[in-house]
Amino acid sequence: MPYHGPVAEEGSRTPLDEALVRVGDRWSLLLVEALLAGPRRFNELSAALPGIAPNILTDRLRRLEREAVVTAEAYSRRPPRFAYRLTADGLELAGVLRLLADWGAGASAQSTLRHAACGTPMEARWFCPTCARSVGDDEAAQLRFV
């Protein structure tokens, strides 16, 4: 039986839907990636994301602030200027972005995320911390969000 992912309660959004509402557009995800190296100012973010219009950058920063992914710290009152940094939620999202970037890179030997100790390509898996074991594909169809 093919795996169709975890199922949400009737009439509710799935967790993936919720995640996409929070950060589900290209610029938001690229902003999070740009902030991985540490805090950046508006002009630094603009330079790091060629092609983003200033109004779109402002909109995405505000949305990510509302979603508690990014925080703005004032470094000038007149005129008001801010440095932006990832929150704990933003840093958690960064791990997911690394997996997405690895997937986007395909199977290229140069761009695959590898274990430093042995060089083996890394894999993401469902893991149950209570049972201390990976959940296999045969069990994955039974996963549910509660």
Instruction: Give me the residue spans of the domains in the chain.
Output: 15-140
The CA distance from 122 to 10, in Å, is 35
Whether residue 105 has pLDDT greater than 80: no
* Average pLDDT of the chain to the nearest whole number: 82
Residues 41 and 82: beta-carbon distance below 8 Å: yes
Averaged over 42-61, what is the pLDDT?
96
**What fold does the segment set 15-140 form as a domain?**
Arc Repressor Mutant, subunit A (1.10.10)
DSSP tag of 128:
E
| 7 has a pLDDT exceeding 60 | no
Q: Which range (4-18, 60-74, 110-124) has the least confidence? A: 4-18
Average pLDDT over residues 79-91: 93
pTM check: above 0.85: no
